[in-house]
């Protein structure tokens, strides 16, 4: 039996026994995904029914070897939607691949029934169906991985934004407390956040507090200087606070030149310097008791 005949045989087998195949396929998935209550029987049935609809059309009008035809692209689109939805639900790659791989058992049973008494045709049909479904199963995993990577990247970007809050300490004075490692990607977020706030508030002083930065090496120092330079171009002077003894020694040892950037040991000291530069002061309105 050649590939075209296999395609017709596969199409005819599924078309003839579609209701039973669909029912058994849904039950196979329910057993495999019993721990995921968000995928109820109706959802599974709708997904499987849509897949069968396009799978039948592809195996009837196309072939089992060339999956670049429009008919098979429609099958891929269904798998893409299924993979994305399962990825977003937090399901595993195995759970996602199960959608296709669990189709084998009811399909092979139907092929055995259709090719009863003809072992050669049955073996050829099962082999071609296996190769085809394995390719489609691998595609679901590829889409799953890409979707998870996109979700992780988005979460990382959200965390970067949350970890770089720019707060207003007083009229014209901003503070940017940094916590964690300062790499190139985070520097870009830090710079954008600070510049946006400088423009929005018209501030002329910005305090970059690195108390929460565990280590400062040459690269981190360069990132800080880039941020300071960008802020100056927007009309704001910067003060770097949180210079601990260990960090001071490291900066000297590395030979890093901070230029004329003002540095302070604490955020409070930096804030006092910023107030002084703006001819501002904080006064106590009531005597201390």
Question: Could you tell me the CATH number of the domain that includes residue 209?
Answer: 3.30.750.24
Assigned domain for 283 exists: no
Does one domain contain both 239 and 136? no
Assigned domain for 268 exists: yes
Does one domain contain both 138 and 7? yes
Average pLDDT estimate for 14-20:
89
How many domains in the chain?
Answer: 2
Domain stops at, among 133, 157, 181: 157
**Which residues span the domain enclosing 117?**
3-157
Assigned domain for 58 exists: yes
Does one domain contain both 151 and 185? no
Assigned domain for 62 exists: yes
Q: Summarize pLDDT for 171-199 with one digit per residue, the tens.
A: 999 998 888 777 777 777 788 888 999 99
Q: Summarize pLDDT for 57-110 with one digit per residue, the tens.
A: 888 765 777 788 888 899 999 999 999 888 888 888 888 899 999 999 999 999
Does one domain contain both 20 and 132? yes
pTM, two decimal places: 0.57
Helix (H) or strand (E) segment spanning residue 97: helix 93-101
Does one domain contain both 192 and 124? no
**Residue 187 — left, alpha, or beta (φ > 0 → left; ψ -120 to 50 → alpha)?**
alpha
Does one domain contain both 183 and 251? yes
Q: Summarize pLDDT for 226-280 with one digit per residue, the tens.
A: 888 899 999 999 999 988 888 888 878 877 777 788 889 999 999 999 999 999 9
Assigned domain for 125 exists: yes
DSSP string, 185-243: HHHHHHHHHHHHHHHHHT-SEEEEEEEE-S---HHHHHHHHHHHHHHHHTT-EEEEE--
């Amino acid at each position: 039996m050649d590939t075209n005949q296999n395609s017709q045989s596969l199409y005819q087998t599924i078309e003839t026994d579609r209701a039973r195949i669909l029912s058994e396929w849904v039950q196979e998935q329910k057993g495999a995904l019993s721990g995921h209550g968000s995928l109820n029987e109706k959802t599974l049935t709708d997904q499987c029914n849509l897949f069968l609809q396009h799978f039948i059309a592809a195996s009837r009008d196309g072939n089992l070897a060339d999956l670049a035809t429009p008919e098979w692209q429609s099958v891929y689109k269904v798998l893409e939607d299924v993979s994305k939805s399962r990825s977003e639900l937090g399901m595993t790659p195995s759970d996602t691949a199960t959608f296709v791989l669990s189709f084998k058992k009811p399909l092979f049973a139907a092929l055995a029934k259709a090719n009863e008494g003809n072992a050669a045709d049955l073996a050829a049909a099962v082999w071609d169906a296996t190769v085809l479904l394995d390719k489609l199963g691998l595609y679901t995993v590829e889409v799953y991985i890409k979707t998870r990577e996109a979700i992780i990247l988005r979460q990382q970007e959200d965390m970067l934004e949350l970890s770089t809050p720019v707060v207003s300490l007083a009229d014209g004075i901003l503070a940017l407390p940094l916590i964690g490692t300062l790499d190139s990607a985070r520097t870009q977020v830090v710079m954008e956040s600070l510049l946006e706030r400088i423009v929005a508030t018209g501030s002329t002083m910005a305090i970059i507090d690195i108390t929460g930065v565990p280590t400062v090496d040459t690269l981190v120092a360069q990132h800080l200087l880039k941020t300071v330079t960008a802020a100056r171009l927007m009309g704001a002077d910067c003060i770097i606070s949180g210079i601990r003894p260990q960090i001071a020694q490291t900066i000297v040892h590395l030979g890093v030149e901070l230029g004329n950037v003002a540095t302070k040991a604490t955020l409070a000291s930096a804030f006092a310097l910023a107030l002084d530069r703006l001819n501002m002061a904080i006064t106590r309105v009531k005597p201390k008791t």
